[in-house]
Structure 1
Amino acid sequence: MPLARPVRPAAALLLAGALLLTGCAGSSGKPGSSPGGASAGHPVTLDNCGRKVRVQRAPERAVSLNQGTTEIMLSLGLADRMAGTATWTDPVAKGLEKADAKVRRLADDAPSFEKVLDAEPDFVAASFASTLGTGGVATREQFEKLGVPTYLSPSDCVGKDNGGDGDGSRTEPLTMDAIYGEVTDLARIFGVEERGRALVAELRGRLDRATSGLDARGVTVLYWFANSQSPYLAGCCGAPGVITREAGAENAFADTHEEWPQVGWETVADRDPDVLVVGDLTRRQQTAETAAKKIAFLESDPVTRNMTAVRKKRYVLLSGQAMNPTIRTVEGVEKVAAALRAYGLAG
């Protein structure tokens, strides 16, 4: 006799669909809402990564599938309108701890599709196509068939090819405009445009202050995200590219357009960068996730221990979020700029 099939996933799909249909049938009763299910300033329609996204009303049960989108929402004061978060590499950004504590964490890594549906989302956002796409939590089509609008960070699609088995490659260098655009889009979706403008202005101001008078021409910088056996190092044109350009320095692997190519240590030693930026992660997916483990490896391995940056201990510790295209890329610029000045490598 065949075993009975689990019924929970199907039930969850039906329940989510029913809740969404109910939610779109009328006013929420909250200030700013209007008859027909639309809230003030809504519906919002925008182009996002080659898709047209229509949000009928400001989300009240949003789920963010990556830390980057989560921290934007928290920075916009939207904790009370979030039903869950997932996929974290670092502690939440300073100043957002209280807001983050109000939001349910569905998983430290990628949650199951069912887990997300159990949160009864009315909007889903993600930082990476690998999370919101084939092989990830679910595809955008799967959510949208249930009436749940989705949003993908422009920084992971504009000027980027996500084909292949790696982290994709850049056909155009990433700029902060893509990150500012994400802030603006999410603020519009949630009906908090003024907060979005204020956040962008704050980020621009921090960037200007960090780089004022900075001149690091001729200084080479290498970015190591994770893995000691076959390290993931930054190519030319992602978030580390933004940091390097803003600092006026040079990326040790500016000749590759891959986002995070895996490069042998012998090649790294041959390039002998002036400064090593190392990811200080709290997740446990790869070898040498923390900065302490990375530095211990660099100073003990016979191939790397004689590199200039290692001998002179020119390290910069960055969170994973600062090395990804997020609002914390500005934090990356600030820390790298300060280190270059402290090491006497920049004006």
Structure 2
Amino acid sequence: MQFARPAALFLVCAVLLTGCAGSGDDAKSAATAVTLTNCGHEVTVDAPPKRAVSLNQGTTEIMLSLGLADRMAGTATWTDPVEGPLKEENAKVRRLADNAPSLETVLDAEPDFVAASFASTLGKGGVAPREQFEKLGVPTYLSPSDCVGKDNDGDGDGARTQPLKLDAVYGEVLDLARLFGVEERGEKLVADLKKRVAKATSGLKAGDVEVMYWFANSQSPYLAGCCGAPGAITRALGAKNVFDDTKDEWPQVGWETVADRDPDVLVIGDLTRRQQTAETAAKKIEFLESNPVTRNMTAVKRKRYVLLSGQAMNPTIRTVEGIEKVAAALRAYGLAG
């Protein structure tokens, strides 16, 4: 969600950060210009970027996972901490802002490449439209997960015209690896992510389980519609999202409607930012267990909660973390084989 620790991922990232430098493919592509089509824009880098700026945590974590901290001039817009081996790498990169930075702040970093996870960040009303950077000679990249099969023209967080597939996230990893001339690292990271999904879902039977995803805000909660990252998690598990009848990315739904749908499990965002009410999981649970409308829900009475980072509920490499954690919780609660 654009408001804005999986151990296995960070372990893999540590290997990538220490074991990939100087590989044949990396050296071969280092001096080669690359052009690709991204969200309707042609992106060309004459050489691998050396001063990249990432405007969202999702693109930042991909770059860090590819071992590119030394080629980053800044990051921005955060919902969660970075832990494990990536924490040290992230500390090397200047944080331009906790939320969306100004265009002037980004330009002061002298970027030669700008990437973002959301059109709301890299677009009108955000830091700046892509065209503005491109006129300045700075190539840009937008996560395909926020443009392929998605309409961002309306209010809120947009709506999906097609369900998000993890292939969009994998494609983003491979695109960025290609633009930075580290194709082998991208291929290794994608292969690991796919293995983790296969392991988490192997033998899982959750067809009768109904799940609800709550990102933020206790007054008018943002809950996951059918087809974004939570939808990808739910489909991977073979479960059902109780709000799969709306294609809005994060519709705001009244608590009476939530209570009426009465999900078996509540997946709740555990955020460290301070933009909405009830950002942390502790605040969300406190609200659920004290509010007269929600405290008698099945999931609340039985304390069937799954805590996820904000990035795991967004279309990012941490969506795989979401699949792993929700799968593990369904098994622990005895709801799935």
Global fold match (TM > 0.5): yes
Query: What is residue 46 of structure 1 aligned with on the other side?
Result: 36
1:183 to 165, 170, 173: 173
Give the 3-state SS of the residue equivalent to 2:248 in structure 1. Answer: coil
Alpha carbons 1:71, 1:93 under 8 Å: kept: no
User: Using the alignment, how far apart are the partners of 1:113 and 1:289 within structure 2?
Assistant: 27
For 2:144, the equivalent position in structure 1 comes to 154
Q: Which residue of 2 aligns with 1:231?
A: 221
SS in 2 for 1:124: strand
Letter in 1 for 2:329: A
1:277 aligned partner? 267
Question: Residue 214 of structure 1 contacts residue 247 of structure 1 at CA under 8 Å; is this kept in 2?
Answer: yes
State the distance in 2 between where 1:141 and 1:132 align. 10
- Indicate whether 1:82 and 2:72 are aligned: yes
2:18 corresponds in structure 1 to none
Q: Whole-Å Cα distance in 2 between the matches of residues 40 and 75 of structure 1?
A: 18
1:166-221 superposed Cα distances (whole Å, 9 cap, x missing partner): 10000000000000000000000000000000000010011111011001011000
My pick for the range that moved more, 180-189 or 90-99, is: 90-99
Amino acid at match of 2:253: V
Q: Does 1:222 align with 2:209?
A: no
For residues 340 and 40 of structure 1, the distance between their equivalents in structure 2, rounded to whole angstroms, comes to 45
Structure 1 residue 163: deviation in Å?
0.9
SS at match of 2:181: coil
Give the drift of 1:41. Answer: 5.2
Tell me how far apart the structure 1 counterparts of residues 245 and 326 of structure 2 sit (CA, whole Å).
21
Q: TM-score, normalised by structure 2?
A: 0.91
- Identify the residue that residue 315 of structure 1 maps to in structure 2: 305
Question: Quick one: distance in 2 between partners of 1:269 and 1:98?
Answer: 43
**Cα deviation, residue 93, structure 1:** 4.6
Find the residue that maps to 1:96 and give its secondary structure. Answer: helix
Higher CA-based Rg: 1
For residues 227 and 287 of structure 1, the distance between their equivalents in structure 2, rounded to whole angstroms, comes to 5
Q: Please name the residue that 1:65 is paired with.
A: 55
Matching residue's letter, 1:262: Q
Cross-structure match for 1:305 = 295
What is the alpha-carbon distance in structure 2 between the residues aligned to residue 299 and residue 260 of structure 1?
Answer: 23
Q: List alignment gaps of at least 5 residues for structure 2.
A: 1-21, 24-28
1:118-197 map, 5 Å: 118-197=108-187
Superimposed CA distance per residue, residues 24-47 of structure 1 (whole angstroms, 9 cap, x where no aligned partner) = xxxxxxx99xxxxxx745211101
Residue 343 of structure 1 corresponds to: 333
Q: Which amino acid is the alignment partner of residue 143 of structure 1?
A: F
| Deviation at residue 105 of structure 1 after TM alignment | 0.3
Q: How does 1:232-247 map to 2 (within 5 A)?
A: 232-247=222-237
Counterpart residue number, 2:258: 268
Corresponding letter in the other structure for 1:103: V
AA at the equivalent of 2:112: D
Distance 1:154 1:194 in 2: 20
1:330 to 293, 311, 320: 320
- The alignment's TM-score, normalised by the length of structure 1, stands at 0.88
Q: In structure 1, the residue corresponding to 2:85 is in which secondary structure?
A: coil
* RMSD value, Cα: 1.3
- Counterpart CA distance in 2 for 1:91 and 1:261 is 26
Give 1:169's aligned amino acid.
A
Cα deviation, residue 80, structure 1: 0.2
Match of 2:75, SS? Answer: strand
Do 1:76 and 1:195's aligned partners in 2 also have CA atoms closer than 8 Å? yes
Higher RCO (C-alpha 8 Å, min separation 6) = 2
SS at match of 1:59: coil
List structure 1 segments (4+ residues) > 3 angstroms apart after TM superposition: none
Aligned to 2:95: 105
